[in-house]
Amino acid sequence: MTQFEPARLARPSFLADSECNGGLPVFATVRDALNAYEGDDAFCILYPQAIAAAADQFLTGFPGQVLYAVKANPHPAVLQTLWAAGLRSFDVASIAEIDLILKVTPDAKMYLMHPVKSRETIRHAYRSGIRDFAFDCADELAKINEEISPLCQADEPPLRLHLRLALAAGEAKMPLAGKFGAQTQDAIDLLKAGAAAGVDLGVTFHVGSQCHQPDEYRRALAYVRGLVDAAGVELSSLDCGGGFPIAYPGMQPPPLDQYFSTIRQALTAYDFGHVESLGEPGRALCAAGGSTLVRVELRKGDDLYINDGIYGSLFDAGTFDWVFPVRLYRAAGDATICKQAPKSRGFRMLGPTCDSHDILRGPFQLPSDIAEGDWIEFGHNGAYGQALASRFNGFGPEAIFAIAESGFGER
């Protein structure tokens, strides 16, 4: 099962990889990966089984088309795993993401759901076969039309233009209400103008990432009903965005099925049963499918100095004070603390850079005798953390492996 390239593996600079090859070295267990690893830096792992299981849950439960938000983790192994699980649609935002999908899953359907795009991105998207574009104001709509009209052949399938709505900031742990979206009157005017111009119209919204209230999707759909009635238009699609949560320690969101049934019921209740519905999960598809392994370089009381931090793959843990599930691997031997843990206590972790923001307050519960040289697995870090990792100050995850076990929570 185990195959290891002794040479240094490329760090996960996903979009820059010329070889878009998801064929990562595979280890049976995290311990096997640790035993084989010769690098000095932190490293990332993926649990393809966990990603496939999350995809299956969405594909069987979500009432509509499932688009993976590529930004959450663009590693080719993630994209290939989702494709193999049956997911066929991807939400992209940039030329690099479009090219990545063309290379890794060329038969996929792409949707360009970023509300503000460069003209070059619009042209590139259209030439790459994308026919679904988001916008949130008249100027962006005009920009899309100006760029695509000269490229458009008479027999081409029509564009579908998705109006991004602004929603009031809700209960999501990571609100996304500050930047994009048309407010109520503008939305009504844009819907009317779009319908008058014969545009194939969709609506899209995002309730905020890691949303703990399924009812926020119902409220958003009720709001869309009001807008559509006020504008007197018909929609061809309704995109419920992302926001689906996972259970980080200390957070107990309702199960995903509750979100799916709330959305299903609301689509019927607000008379959208005949409209194509879409969802754009990112976090919920890949968070549980990835971890970061960090090493303790020094202990000072309850402070652990580790070799990754907020400028590496642990952005959320430091920036939003989210507590990620952690597990310790001893420097030597093959027993994890789960089997023989002395009393645990709460630790703060300090990232490797010189920056004082590079601190993860936690507290992270770990065995009280943790020491220099021990490794810590940060679980549920497959979404955003891995994608955001930089090499600031020369630190950051150096390699990425696949683990055959079913996921962090399964031992």
Ligand X SMILES: Cc1ncc(COP(=O)(O)O)c(C=O)c1O
Residues in contact with ligand X by CB under 6 A are 69, 72, 91, 113, 176, 206, 209, 241-244, 280-284
Q: How far is CA 90 from CA 76, 82, 111, 118, 238, in A?
A: 13, 10, 6, 19, 16
CB-wise, 166 or 176, nearer to ligand X? 176
CB-wise, 113 or 148, nearer to ligand X? 113
Contacts of 387 (CB under 8 A, 6+ apart): 14, 71, 72, 73, 74, 75
Comparing every residue's Cβ against ligand X, the nearest one is 242
CB-wise, 56 or 229, nearer to ligand X? 56
354 is catalytic: yes
Instruction: With CA atoms as reference, report the closest residue to 108 among 124, 127, 92.
Output: 92
Question: What residue ranges in 122-271 does DSSP mark as E strands?
Answer: 132-135, 160-164, 200-204, 237-239
Residue 187 CB, nearest approach to ligand X (Å)? 16
CB-wise, 243 or 397, nearer to ligand X? 243
The SS3 call for residue 75 is: coil
Helices 256-269 and 215-231: crossing angle, nearest 10°?
A: 20
CB-wise, 242 or 352, nearer to ligand X? 242
CA distance 54 to 163: 28
CB-wise, 282 or 325, nearer to ligand X? 282
Peptide bond into 363 cis (omega under 30): yes
Residue 253 CB, nearest approach to ligand X (Å)? 12
Q: How far is CA 145 from CA 125, 140, 195, in A?
A: 13, 9, 15
Residue 242 CB, nearest approach to ligand X (Å)? 2
Residue 286 CB, nearest approach to ligand X (Å)? 9
Interior/surface letters 250-271, b for 16+ CB within 10 angstroms, e for the rest: eeebeebeebbebbbebbeebe
Interior/surface letters 312-322, b for 16+ CB within 10 angstroms, e for the rest: bbbbbbbeeeb
CA distance 320 to 54: 24
CA distance 30 to 27: 7
CB-wise, 284 or 288, nearer to ligand X? 284
Contacts of 402 (CB under 8 A, 6+ apart): 24, 25, 26, 27, 45, 46, 47, 48, 77
Contacts of 407 (CB under 8 A, 6+ apart): 47, 49, 50, 53, 288, 289
One-letter amino acid at 26 equals V
* Identified catalytic residue from 44, 240, 286, 354: 354
Q: Any idea how long the chain is?
A: 411
CB-wise, 209 or 262, nearer to ligand X? 209
Residue 72 CB, nearest approach to ligand X (Å)? 5
Catalytic residues: 354
